[in-house]
Chains A and B, each alone.
Chain A
Amino acid sequence: MTITEALRITQRAPRDARPLAVTLACGFTPLHVQTFLAAHLQKALPDRKVTIALGLYGSLAATLESLPDAAPPDALAIALEWPDLDPRLDYRSAGSWGLAAASDIVSSARVMLDRIAAALARIPSGPRVALSLPTLALPPLFHTPGWQASEPELALQSAVFQFAADVARGGRIAVINPQRLAEASSAAARHDLKSDLYIGLPFTTEHADKLASQLALALVPPSPKKGIISDLDDTLWDGIVGEVGPDAVTWDLTSHSHQHGLYQKLLGSLADAGTLIGIASKNDPAVVAKAFERKDLLLRPQQVFPIEVHWNAKSGSVARILETWNIAADSVIFVDDSPMELAEVAAAHPGIECVLFPKNDHKAFLAMLWHLRDRCGKERVSKDDALRLESIRQGAAFREQASAGAAPETFLQQIGASVTFDFSAAGEPRVLELVNKTNQFNLNGRRYAQADWQKLVSDESAVLAAVRYEDKFGPLGTIAAVAGQLNGAKTLAIEAWVMSCRAFARRIEHQTLKMLFDTTGVSAIEFRFTPTEKNGPLREFFATFLGEEPQSEFRLTRQQFEAKCPPLYHEVREMRRAEAHG
């Protein structure tokens, strides 16, 4: 991105849009970083108006300490550089460079890192925070020749990384990955000494752009993909299993096919973090089943569901996997070594991301591994992530029994379902994650910045419940959230209501409405509803009470609800603050 492009992007921001107030904290002249950060954020959030406020020149710690508690920004970007830790590390400083200075710099840097860490700990929980570690080289003030790292230099690096590990703990602060930044912006092309000395801007324009783009990604990360559907032959393993047999396909160093093993390991690690892994393969099911019995598979068979193996078109397999997962094609990546298969699936499932497995190109293969991690990686892994695949497996069993077994009412009566409403979950990251990634049962599709969400749920009149579900097939975890405000004693206005598609067909949404009427005592609930491309299931649900699908904000009375609510068989539990915190 050039400065000109960046300025034009920010100037195209809609004037009346909801503002996104970002504070950029850095000790140097922020000029280009500010321009590029605004542009990258504006690109990521075209319906917002990004504004960047600046901190105090020359004192990053003071900027952080002076952030207002009462009205913090929506987001905070911190660009730490060596001079922030000790002025003698600044090329603009007249402080001496010498043996005595070197060890003193290490001591004072540690003190300053402690001060910054303390300031970060005081920031209220609303704003999203991104932190970049020093990106410029240390000046040549140490006694060793440049090719040898001196003890003070290593001590400084160590102190910074320890600081970063401490502040990143808990996931509140996103630390920019120095390795990824180095790939985008080479170390030698980062510093502009003349600009540093003349105007206090130490970065080249290119480096300012690259750093700002990483900070923007950390502040507004894209939604991770929910699943990967993979081919088997020459993808999950090397060889055609139907030709060579289950024991002869390989993924090891000896066979020079270890890249397939690496691919299995990556899928396994993503599965552990809640990414769904499915298989679509044209093969003999019995042969594939034998291959999946092999003990040396690095992707555990229980991490994969469903497995679609037959000789029909892969687009059909993908359709069934998407149906089982109950997610849209644009949330999924399909990996295959055949361009023809990728094209067939892409044509049938617009929005799906198709990735070619580059079998004989190790450089491209490594890039693919990183791409999959980038697209599926998560900031934090919750208990619900670990539950996801198992609950889908159980969901398939649920649907099978529901359609083949007893009548629906009998079936629902017999599954031992329990619904837990947790009214103390305002600060739970899972709740906001659910609100921001759920599409089908979503009241209005509105996505919330952390600060906006905090404002909504911390209001005195706020009502918020996270909903957990369990039945004899197993727990689904936290699968729904509802948030709104009580307007006096008569009306409740619901601003956000989402439910995971994994939880459909269990009448959890009915139980949630009943809970809202019962706990608040209101006679009517107003819903801040907006139709979206994907919230058809929610519209259909409300049509059962209203007689037709809602088109805009609407009101539902207790009478309307009770007249059409089907029998509910759940055991209901409520968790209030004291109970939730033991």
Chain B
Amino acid sequence: MDETRQRLTNCFQTVFPDLPEAEIATASTSTISAWDSVAAITLMNVMEDEFGFEMDLDDLADLDSFDKIYSYLQKRLQVA
């Protein structure tokens, strides 16, 4: 597992402590009932803490799965 994926997994574990690690990579708003709008904002803040950059609320609606967030992070980290 690359470093970004591992750090993102840690973020998911912080926000969804009851989610088994094996299910994190396939997680999405449609598979995790606890992933509501409140959890989405919390996840965004935890990712900001972890990766050290600010995220835009406008991006939030599209970031509805682990995969999409991972891709988003890769792009942001490349730009940085």
Question: How far, in whole Å, are A162 and B37 apart by their CA atoms in the complex?
Answer: 38
Contacts of A29 in B (CB 8 A): 38
Question: How far, in whole Å, are A4 and B11 apart by their CA atoms in the complex?
Answer: 8
Min Cβ gap A367→B in Å is 30
**Partner of A8 from B14, B42, B57 at Cβ < 8 Å:** B14
Contact stretch, chosen from A138-146, A194-202, A558-566: A194-202
Q: Determine if B14 and A31 form an interchain contact, defined as CB atoms under 8 angstroms apart.
A: no
Judged by a CB distance under 8 angstroms, whether B46 is at the interface is yes
Min Cβ gap B39→A in Å is 10
B12-39 contacts to A (CB < 8 Å): 14-15, 17, 37-38
Question: How far, in whole Å, are A386 and B16 apart by their CA atoms in the complex?
Answer: 52
Q: Determine if B46 and A4 form an interchain contact, defined as CB atoms under 8 angstroms apart.
A: yes
Contacts of A5 in B (CB 8 A): 49
Judged by a CB distance under 8 angstroms, whether A2 is at the interface is yes
Q: Determine if A194 and B57 form an interchain contact, defined as CB atoms under 8 angstroms apart.
A: yes
Contacts of B50 in A (CB 8 A): 4
Closest A residue, CB atoms, query B18:
A11
Q: Determine if B37 and A199 form an interchain contact, defined as CB atoms under 8 angstroms apart.
A: yes
Contacts of B57 in A (CB 8 A): 194-195, 198-199
Min Cβ gap B73→A in Å is 16
Q: Determine if A2 and B49 form an interchain contact, defined as CB atoms under 8 angstroms apart.
A: yes
Closest B residue, CB atoms, query A197:
B57
Q: Determine if B46 and A31 form an interchain contact, defined as CB atoms under 8 angstroms apart.
A: no
- A7 with B41: in contact, given A195-B57, A198-B57 (CB under 8 Å)? no
Judged by a CB distance under 8 angstroms, whether A32 is at the interface is yes
Judged by a CB distance under 8 angstroms, whether A289 is at the interface is no
Judged by a CB distance under 8 angstroms, whether B9 is at the interface is no
Judged by a CB distance under 8 angstroms, whether B45 is at the interface is yes
Min Cβ gap A317→B in Å is 49
**Partner of A31 from B11, B15, B38, B49 at Cβ < 8 Å:** B38
Question: How far, in whole Å, are A198 and B37 apart by their CA atoms in the complex?
Answer: 11
Contacts of A4 in B (CB 8 A): 11, 14, 45-46, 49-50
Question: How far, in whole Å, are A32 and B41 apart by their CA atoms in the complex?
Answer: 9
**Partner of A11 from B11, B17, B46, B49 at Cβ < 8 Å:** B17
Closest A residue, CB atoms, query B11:
A4
Question: How far, in whole Å, are A133 and B46 apart by their CA atoms in the complex?
Answer: 29
Min Cβ gap A568→B in Å is 58
Q: Determine if A3 and B37 form an interchain contact, defined as CB atoms under 8 angstroms apart.
A: no
Question: How far, in whole Å, are A545 and B45 apart by their CA atoms in the complex?
Answer: 60
Interface string of B36-56 (1 = CB under 8 A from A): 011001100110011000000
Contacts of A198 in B (CB 8 A): 57
Judged by a CB distance under 8 angstroms, whether A442 is at the interface is no
Contacts of B11 in A (CB 8 A): 4
- A205 with B17: in contact, given A4-B50, A199-B37, A199-B57 (CB under 8 Å)? no
Interface string of A69-87 (1 = CB under 8 A from B): 0000000000000000000
Min Cβ gap A345→B in Å is 41
Question: How far, in whole Å, are A199 and B37 apart by their CA atoms in the complex?
Answer: 9
With A4-B14, A194-B57, A199-B37 known, 20 other A-B pairs at CB within 8 A are A2-B45, A2-B49, A3-B42, A3-B45, A3-B49, A4-B11, A4-B45, A4-B49, A4-B50, A5-B49, A7-B14, A7-B42, A7-B46, A11-B17, A29-B38, A31-B38, A32-B45, A198-B57, A199-B41, A201-B41
**Chain B interface (Cβ within 8 Å of chain A)?**
11, 14-15, 17, 37-38, 41-42, 45-46, 49-50, 57
Q: Closest 5 A-B residue pairs measured CB to CB?
A: A3-B45, A4-B49, A2-B49, A198-B57, A4-B46
Return 17 A-B CB contacts under 8 Å, by A number.
A3-B42, A3-B45, A4-B14, A4-B45, A4-B50, A5-B49, A7-B15, A11-B14, A29-B38, A31-B38, A31-B42, A195-B57, A198-B57, A199-B37, A199-B41, A199-B57, A205-B45
